[in-house]
């Protein structure tokens, strides 16, 4: 049982490039979410999903797209990376019964030049 | 929307002392208040949480108190140890089909031997 996994661990992009951050969980959790963490700002919710085919925006959704085609995977897409998207990205999952107990992945450190 | 303020931003104590971190929230409808510990380069991990129908909760050396009238909650760590050194985040959330967490900006706790 690997829990929540994220790839890659580190990524450097140039402004305007696109990429997808991968997130997978093997706990059969219905709920998944993406956060970004910036120095001095805590974690902020980007997008979340309450089940396959259902996604919604969080606090800071601009510049990011998500989709949820399976229960296990919840990728985060940056269509045109900007320096303001330099951050550490965490994926999290939780059960429908206890959406408050969120299990975080190890994170992806993204730098946009 | 919800806003969470956290103080202090840094806290230095001697081993064996107590440490207190305080948070205030703005939305009186918030009903769930978790605390996360994040070690350098690692993912946030839930250490304790409290719901709005409870005033205090304790787990060994860690306790959390909630004052709904004043809209503030606190983390108390007793008999601190060097391994308690980390960044601690408070959060508040309202359940609207999904528990959207709004995080504080974090407190860096340093416990000196």
User: A51 in contact with B at a CB cutoff of 8 Å?
Assistant: no
The whole-angstrom distance between B3's CA and the closest CA on chain A is: 11
Question: Tens digits of per-residue pLDDT, A18-74?
Answer: 999 999 999 999 999 999 999 878 899 999 999 999 999 999 999 999 999 999 999
| pLDDT band with cut points at 50, 70 and 90 for residue A101 | confident
Average pLDDT, integer, range B45-49: 93
Q: Are the beta carbons of A90 and B43 separated by less than 8 Å?
A: yes
Compare B100 and A87 and report the one with higher pLDDT. Answer: A87
How many residues appear in chain A?
A: 113
DSSP output for B17-80 = --EEEEEEES-TT--EEEEEEE-TTS--EEEEEEETT-SEEEETTEEEEEETTTTEEEEEE-S-
Measure the CA angle with vertex A41, ends B106 and B37; round to 5°: 30
pLDDT higher than threshold 70 for residue A98:
no
Question: Tens digits of per-residue pLDDT, A72-92?
Answer: 999 999 999 999 999 999 999
Closest CA to B12 of B106, B113, B111: B111
Q: Given B43, B103, B104, which is nearest A107 (Cβ)?
A: B43
Question: Tens digits of per-residue pLDDT, B7-37?
Answer: 999 999 999 999 999 999 999 989 899 999 9
Which residue bears the tokens 């407190």? B107
User: A107 in contact with B at a CB cutoff of 8 Å?
Assistant: yes
Average pLDDT, integer, range B48-73: 93
């Amino acid at each position: 049982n690997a829990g929540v996994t994220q790839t890659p661990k580190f990524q450097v992009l140039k402004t305007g490039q696109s990429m997808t951050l991968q997130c997978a969980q093997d706990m059969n959790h219905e709920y998944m979410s993406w956060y970004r963490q910036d120095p001095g700002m805590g974690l902020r919710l980007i997008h979340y999903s309450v089940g396959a085919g259902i996604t919604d925006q969080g606090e800071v959704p601009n510049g990011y797209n998500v989709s949820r085609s399976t229960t296990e995977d919840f990728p985060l897409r940056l269509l045109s990376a900007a320096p303001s998207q330099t951050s550490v990205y965490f994926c999290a999952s939780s059960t429908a019964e206890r959406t408050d107990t969120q299990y975080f992945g190890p994170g992806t450190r993204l730098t946009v030049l | 929307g919800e806003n969470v303020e956290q103080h202090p931003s840094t806290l230095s104590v001697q081993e064996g002392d107590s440490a207190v971190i305080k948070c205030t929230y703005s939305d009186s409808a918030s009903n769930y208040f978790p605390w996360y510990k994040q070690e350098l380069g690692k993912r946030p991990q839930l250490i304790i949480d409290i719901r709005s129908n409870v005033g205090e909760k304790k787990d060994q050396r860690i306790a959390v108190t909630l004052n709904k009238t004043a809209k503030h909650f606190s983390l108390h760590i007793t008999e601190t140890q060097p391994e308690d050194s980390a960044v601690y985040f408070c959060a508040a959330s309202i359940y609207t089909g999904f528990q959207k967490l709004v995080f504080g900006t974090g407190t860096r706790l340093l416990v000196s031997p």
